[in-house]
Amino acid sequence: MDDRDLGEIVVPADTLQQRIVELGHEITADYEGRPPLLVGVLKGAFVFMSDLARNISLPVEFDFMAVSSYGSATKTSGVVRIVKDLDLDLSDRHVLIVEDIVDSGLTLAYLRRNLEARQPASLEVCALLVKEGLQRQDPDLRYVGFRIPPKFVVGYGLDVKERYRNLPFVCVYEGSDA
Ligand code: IMP
Ligand code: MG
């Protein structure tokens, strides 16, 4: 696993930043008068959430959740375990889940059900990346950054075995251990 395993750039750094400015403006307009609680899904979403939040001109609050899905690194089984739960109570909060990437949609479907049960005032999802054509469950995404081809990608929060999260762009991973 080294830099020779990195393939074509799928979303360049400047394109990411431009789109995140747009998403921030959209969210600012939509949540005027009812500031959202941003719920980041660790670890992958931390880079996106940090840039997104700085483009939202509202008094947002933050919380984080960590989940692990059973199955191989590249395929989720849909059976999800909460590794770190939220610190805050969601009742009467306008919750916006911030996700790095939606592949099968199974992780998000689980999260939605789980958070919905805590009776927030509203619950929406903002996903930076959505893989084309793969969703087995309709994840009902309110905000989407980019639709990308169904290839394994790294960078901008996304990893292979904890590496490449700090790349400022998203690119294809061509190593054998994804
Ligand atoms: P899903 O349940 O199949 O939608 O999988 C979603 C989770 O799998 C994401 O939150 C990521 O953690 C991980 N994942 C899916 N595709 C990729 C990828 O291309 N690169 C890195 N992680 C991925
Ligand atoms: Mg994730």
pLDDT digit string (tens) for 33-55? 999 999 999 999 999 999 999 99
Burial class (CB in 10 A: 0-12, 13-18, 19+), 156: buried
Q: How many Å apart are CA 96 and CA 25, to the nearest integer?
A: 15
Question: Which numbered atom of ligand 1 lies nearest the CA of 45?
Answer: 10
Closest ligand, as measured to the CA of 109 = 1
- For ligand 1, atom 3, the nearest C-alpha belongs to 104
The residue to which tokens 């750039």 are assigned? 9
Q: Which fold, 15-149?
A: Rossmann fold (3.40.50)
Q: Does residue 92 sit in helix, strand or coil?
A: coil
50 Cβ contact list (under 8 Å, min separation 6): none
Quick one: DSSP state of residue 163? B
Checking if the pLDDT of 74 tops 60, the result is no
Checking if the pLDDT of 70 tops 70, the result is no
Q: Which residues belong to the active site?
A: 103
Q: Could you tell me the residue ranges of all domains in the chain? A: 15-149
pLDDT in tens, 78-132: 678 899 999 999 999 999 999 999 988 888 989 999 999 999 999 999 999 999 8
Residue among 110, 63, 70, 106 at smallest CA distance from 85:
63
Binned at pLDDT 50, 70 and 90, residue 73 comes out as: low
